């Protein structure tokens, strides 16, 4: 059962790329230790929502993180407050080894981390096998594992993950799903930006659907599953 205390609350969030008005008043919240899926077609504004929370685009509105309005902070300041972000592009350092990439994820704070290198290698044994290999030669699935783990090494309290299963084999998708469940077990809040309805409905506590750059549905996976109109209008191709 998810805690009812809110970790993140977004109020009337608007975002801009230059003069282009992308988000049109997004409202959502994430509870402590909860997995929330953010669904929608490409162009609906899901990735921009994550970037807005991270301070990577210009915004208006409120972004409340544990009682503090962090709107307007720079990305590194947001990260140091305990918010992690895994972009769809993965952004690994190709010439560094797997282990060196993981080292770069550490924040270097005095507070002991919930996660160790051993945790990463236990969760994804393939990374242990490849720990001395340059990250640039890893498969797409291995690079996705590495990006997820590198973000975790920074010990975030909330992690936003953009399309983690994109282009991955079914066996790797199952690994990613188990990874997300492990985050929840350790009390970490998760925002999952995903197009695959199956994984989102399977592991999420609540679901938001975006359309026309705003939230058009909020509810449980069961409620979305039962709402054929929302799925047809905003999700199905």
pLDDT tens across 163-194, in order? 988 888 888 888 889 989 989 998 999 999 99
The arrangement of secondary structure in 6-235, i.e. its CATH architecture, is: 3-Layer(aba) Sandwich (3.40)
Consecutive H or E run containing 48: helix 46-53
- pTM value is 0.91
- Report helix, strand or coil for 207: strand
Residue 1, pLDDT above cutoff 60: no
Domain ranges in the chain are: 6-235
Instruction: Show the tokens assigned to 199.
Output: 């994984």
Given pLDDT bands bounded at 50, 70 and 90, which one contains residue 109?
low
Q: What is the mean pLDDT of residues 58-87?
A: 95
CA distance 63 to 68: 8
Give the percent of the chain with pLDDT over 70: 97
Q: Does pLDDT of 197 surpass 50?
A: yes
Contacts 24+ apart (CB under 8 A), 168-171: 168/140, 168/141, 168/144, 169/141
Mean pLDDT of 10-38: 95
Q: Which residues pair with 14 in a beta bridge?
A: 24, 60
The answer to which of 83-92, 214-223, 225-234 has the lowest mean pLDDT is: 83-92
| pLDDT tens digits, one per residue of 133-152 | 999 999 988 998 899 999 99
DSSP 8-class letter at 97 = B
């Amino acid at each position: 059962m998810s805690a009812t205390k809110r970790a993140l609350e977004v109020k009337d969030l608007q975002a801009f790329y230059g003069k282009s008005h992308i988000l049109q008043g997004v409202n959502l919240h994430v509870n402590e230790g909860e997995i929330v899926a953010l669904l929608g077609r490409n162009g609906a504004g899901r990735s921009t929502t994550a970037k807005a929370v991270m301070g990577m685009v210009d915004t208006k509105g409120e972004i409340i993180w544990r009682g503090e309005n962090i709107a307007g902070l720079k990305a590194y300041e947001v990260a140091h407050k305990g918010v992690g972000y895994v972009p769809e592009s993965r952004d690994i350092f190709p010439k560094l080894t797997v282990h060196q990439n993981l080292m770069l994820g550490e924040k270097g704070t005095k507070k002991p981390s919930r996660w160790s290198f051993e945790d990463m290698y236990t969760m994804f044994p393939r990374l242990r096998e490849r720990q001395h290999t340059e990250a640039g030669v890893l498969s797409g699935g291995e690079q996705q594992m590495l990006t997820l783990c590198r973000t975790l090494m920074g010990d975030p309290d909330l992690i936003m993950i953009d399309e983690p299963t994109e282009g991955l084999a079914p066996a790797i998708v199952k690994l990613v799903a188990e990874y997300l469940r492990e985050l929840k077990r350790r009390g970490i809040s998760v925002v999952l930006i995903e197009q695959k309805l199956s994984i989102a409905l399977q592991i999420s506590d609540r679901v938001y659907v975006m359309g026309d750059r705003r939230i058009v549905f909020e509810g449980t996976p069961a409620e979305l599953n039962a709402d054929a109109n929302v799925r047809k209008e905003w999700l199905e191709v």
